[in-house]
């Protein structure tokens, strides 16, 4: 297509680039001021192109419509375009494009600055333990080196609310809540992109791009977001933006490298915090274990002394003539002795080993009972909330002690609330595995019944957290507490092979989390029992507990249940029993029916039937049913022990 000289001039006059027009003889017939400045000549019209740029070939030899030539010594680039190829009337547009080497130097300077700042951050990482401080220091450097106008670091936390650290010299953030909500909303998509691509995301104000609306929210032309991954989890992200310029590849690389450094900082600080926490917990556990052994021995000796005091007190009451002043003194001695006995009992329960007498405990039932007590007895200014899962794992242990632990925690929560407040009681199943093991380093892998008590009270000061399980330590006034509550609580939970954790914020509240291993017979079977195991089946609680205590005192391991159905469940779930004692008269499935079921299931352990009825004994054929011996109530304990020893 032919184009007139005037048309060409009209188009090129409006351009700010360096243009010239040459004829078929290589003479310049028109140029603009930018081309004149680039040539370094005073006059160009009528001059041959080769006089200005000797390295160029003759234009009439160029056959392509568009040709590009690089001038020597990095002077620039010449672009030649053929615009009129009619016979003997060739014309060429010549464009001079200078090569700007300032960017190269700038990138070189940026690289040196980047290395220097990386060294500074690595030095700071050795000394600094605050992730927020390190994030801010990294952000300042990213903004500086990448020539950004705005920067922000988002720190994601599974347990707490996400944190935002910003550097905003131009006050782009006017409503922090709106900005946070917008960021978190966008990150539900951006995080998926990061999970796939594992590299920085460049966001431009073009509809359809992931996160494009962030450019409108922050009033930025370009945004770069670089992910920080730790252990394959997105733990943080660095966001920077520019008002009007694009990001160079080198600048995006800077953002990415600092994001990797922030990931390393997160890893380092998390490891340090975990090590410190673990060290503190181990020291606390060792301290409490030592105290437990010491106080248990002292309490045992003191208990013997108290027995003498109680005996002497009973004799005095019988022998001394009743007088008001003497009776008052004796009552005072008795009252103090009873309190001393209770304290001694608490100390013994802390230091003694795992209790041998265990029963199947259903946490749902236990929590239901505690909820009733709280609703009926706690003041109305306290709001009680419960969040209890439907089927919490059964646990094996002493139900009375577990009840005592949980009620004590609830009472402590009530006393921590001044005025109006809230107590939350929750229970759920918890599985500790390789994914969350680092969060609970003192627990073994497996299933747990997890029960939590949380209050909105005054909280516990940081300096007191490490002491709250110590004996006689209390933040209550002297008249209201002995300081043994949490001390004994720790001992009971430890005796059940469990663990208790506390988190507290002053003036915001406290939360206690209790973990007790789930009842898993197959796992228990793998561990050899130290003594012979006797399964005791009786619905008369007082007689059952008395018999269990007698058997335990003679070296037997006793598991107690209340019904025939429970006995079958315990046996079929593979708890090995060396002997079974079953009461005949029980609600539901009686003793004989239970024995028949046991024998039908091919269990061969000796079985003793206990009964208070002579007619039962007279009408039975023990061998036919599978009964090895019959015990009559009331028991003759020496005779019963002799029978047990013969059978096992």
Kindly state whether residue 243 falls inside one of the protein's structural domains. Answer: yes
What span, in angstroms and rounded, lies between the C-alpha atoms of 100 and 425? 69
In the prediction, which pLDDT does 479 show? 43
Nearest to 315 by CA among 340, 334, 328: 334
Residues 6 or more apart whose CB falls under 8 angstroms from that of 19 comprise 12, 31, 32, 34, 35, 93, 94, 95, 96
**What's 190's domain CATH number?**
3.30.450.40
Kindly state whether residue 295 falls inside one of the protein's structural domains. Answer: no
pLDDT digits (tens, 9 = 90+) for 170-190: 787 777 787 888 888 888 788
Kindly state whether residue 239 falls inside one of the protein's structural domains. Answer: yes
The boundaries of the domain holding residue 157 are 103-275
Same structural domain for residues 510 and 534?
Answer: no
In the prediction, which pLDDT does 288 show? 60
**What's 541's domain CATH number?**
3.40.50.2300
Q: What is the mean pLDDT of residues 407-425?
A: 90
Kindly state whether residue 314 falls inside one of the protein's structural domains. Answer: no
pLDDT digits (tens, 9 = 90+) for 343-385: 666 665 555 444 445 678 899 989 998 898 888 888 889 999 9
Q: What is the mean pLDDT of residues 10-16?
A: 71
CB atoms within 10 A of CB 5: 14
Highest mean pLDDT, choosing among 59-73, 114-128, 405-419, 622-636: 405-419
Domain boundary among 275, 305, 322: 275
In the chain, the number of structural domains is 4
User: Half-sphere exposure of 643 toward its Cβ, with a 13 Å CA cutoff?
Assistant: 20
Same structural domain for residues 116 and 238?
Answer: yes
Same structural domain for residues 418 and 459?
Answer: yes
Kindly state whether residue 297 falls inside one of the protein's structural domains. Answer: no
Kindly state whether residue 340 falls inside one of the protein's structural domains. Answer: no
What span, in angstroms and rounded, lies between the C-alpha atoms of 110 and 247? 13
In the prediction, which pLDDT does 536 show? 92
- Contact status, residue 410 vs residue 422, Cβ threshold 8 Å: no
Same structural domain for residues 513 and 557?
Answer: no
The answer to whether residue 146 scores a pLDDT higher than 80 is: yes
In the prediction, which pLDDT does 218 show? 85
Residue 370 per-residue DSSP state: H
Same structural domain for residues 12 and 87?
Answer: yes
Same structural domain for residues 150 and 213?
Answer: yes
Kindly state whether residue 309 falls inside one of the protein's structural domains. Answer: no
Comparison of pLDDT for 443 and 14, the residue scoring more = 443
Helix (H, G, I), strand (E, B) or coil at 302: helix
pTM (two decimals): 0.40
The answer to whether residue 453 scores a pLDDT higher than 90 is: yes
Same structural domain for residues 151 and 267?
Answer: yes
Q: Average model confidence (pLDDT) for the chain?
A: 79
Residues composing the chain: 648
What span, in angstroms and rounded, lies between the C-alpha atoms of 189 and 402? 46
Same structural domain for residues 532 and 501?
Answer: no
Q: What is the mean pLDDT of residues 462-470?
A: 74
Question: In the chain, what are the helix, strand and coil shares in percent, each to the nearest 5?
Answer: 45, 20, 30
- Strand extents, DSSP E, 357-508: 358-361, 382-388, 395-397, 421-432, 446-455, 499-505
Domain boundary among 500, 519, 538: 519
Highest mean pLDDT, choosing among 197-211, 292-306, 583-597: 583-597
In the prediction, which pLDDT does 281 show? 63
Dihedral of CA atoms 353, 356, 360, 365 in degrees, nearest 10, equals: -50
Residues 6 or more apart whose CB falls under 8 angstroms from that of 212 comprise 203, 204, 205, 206
Task: Respond yes or no on whether the N-terminal peptide bond of residue 514 is cis (omega within 30° of 0).
Answer: no
């Amino acid at each position: 297509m032919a184009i007139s000289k005037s048309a060409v001039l009209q188009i090129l006059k409006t351009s700010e680039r360096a243009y010239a027009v040459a004829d078929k003889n290589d003479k310049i017939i028109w140029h603009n001021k930018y081309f004149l400045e680039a040539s370094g000549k005073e006059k160009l019209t009528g001059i041959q192109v080769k006089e200005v740029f000797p390295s160029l070939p003759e234009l009439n030899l160029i056959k392509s419509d568009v040709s590009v030539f690089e001038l020597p010594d990095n002077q620039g680039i010449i672009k030649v375009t053929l615009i009129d190829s009619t016979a003997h009337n060739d014309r060429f547009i010549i464009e001079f494009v200078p090569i700007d080497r300032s960017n190269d130097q700038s990138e070189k300077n940026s690289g040196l600055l980047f290395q220097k700042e990386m060294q500074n951050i690595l030095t700071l990482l050795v000394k600094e333990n605050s992730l927020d401080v390190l994030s801010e220091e990294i952000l300042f450097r990213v903004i500086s080196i990448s020539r950004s106008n705005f920067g922000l670091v988002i720190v994601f936390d599974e347990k707490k609310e996400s944190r935002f650290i910003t550097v905003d010299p131009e006050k782009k953030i006017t409503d922090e809540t709106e900005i946070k909500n917008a960021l978190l909303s966008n990150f539900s998509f951006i995080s998926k992109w990061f999970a796939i691509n594992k590299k920085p995301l460049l966001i431009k104000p073009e509809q359809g791009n992931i996160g494009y609306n962030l450019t409108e929210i922050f009033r930025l032309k370009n945004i770069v977001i670089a992910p920080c991954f730790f252990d394959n989890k997105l733990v943080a992200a660095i966001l920077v933006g520019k008002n009007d310029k694009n990001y160079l590849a080198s600048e995006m690389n800077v953002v990415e490298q600092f994001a990797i450094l922030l990931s390393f900082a997160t890893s380092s600080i998390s490891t340090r915090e975990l090590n410190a926490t673990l060290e503190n917990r181990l020291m606390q556990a060792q301290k409490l274990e030592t105290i437990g052994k010491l106080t248990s021995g002292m309490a045992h000796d003191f208990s013997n002394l108290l027995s003498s005091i109680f005996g002497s007190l009973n004799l005095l009451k019988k022998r001394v003539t009743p007088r008001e002043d003497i009776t008052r003194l004796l009552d005072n001695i008795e009252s103090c002795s009873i309190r001393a006995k209770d304290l001694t009992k608490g100390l013994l329960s802390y230091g003694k080993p795992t209790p041998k007498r265990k029963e199947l405990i259903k946490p749902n039932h236990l929590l239901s009972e505690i909820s009733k007590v709280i609703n009926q007895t706690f003041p109305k200014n306290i709001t009680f909330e419960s969040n209890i899962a439907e089927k919490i794992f059964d646990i094996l242990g002493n139900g009375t002690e577990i009840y005592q632990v949980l009620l004590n925690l609830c009472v402590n929560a009530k006393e921590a609330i001044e005025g109006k407040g809230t107590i939350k009681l929750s229970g759920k199943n918890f599985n500790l595995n390789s994914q969350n093991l680092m969060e609970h380093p003192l627990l073994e892998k497996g299933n747990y019944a997890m029960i939590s008590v949380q209050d909105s009270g005054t909280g516990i000061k940081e300096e007191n957290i490490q002491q709250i399980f110590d004996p006689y330590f209390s933040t209550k006034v002297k008249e209201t507490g002995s300081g043994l509550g949490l001390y004994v609580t720790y001992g009971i939970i430890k005796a059940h092979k469990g663990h208790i954790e506390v988190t507290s914020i002053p003036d915001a509240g406290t939360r206690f989390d209790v973990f007790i291993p789930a009842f898993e017979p197959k796992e228990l079977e793998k561990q050899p029992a130290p003594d012979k195991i006797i399964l005791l089946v009786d619905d008369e609680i007082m007689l059952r507990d008395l018999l269990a205590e007698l058997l335990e005192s003679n070296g037997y391991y006793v598991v107690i249940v209340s019904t025939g159905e429970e006995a079958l469940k315990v046996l079929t779930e593979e708890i090995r029993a060396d002997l079974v004692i079953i009461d005949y008269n029980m609600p539901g499935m009686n003793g004989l029916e239970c024995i028949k079921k046991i024998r039908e299931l091919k269990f061969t352990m000796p079985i003793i039937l206990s009964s208070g009825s002579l007619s039962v004994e007279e009408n039975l054929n023990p061998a036919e049913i599978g009964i090895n011996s019959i015990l009559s109530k009331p028991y003759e304990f020496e005779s019963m022990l002799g029978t047990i020893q013969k059978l096992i």
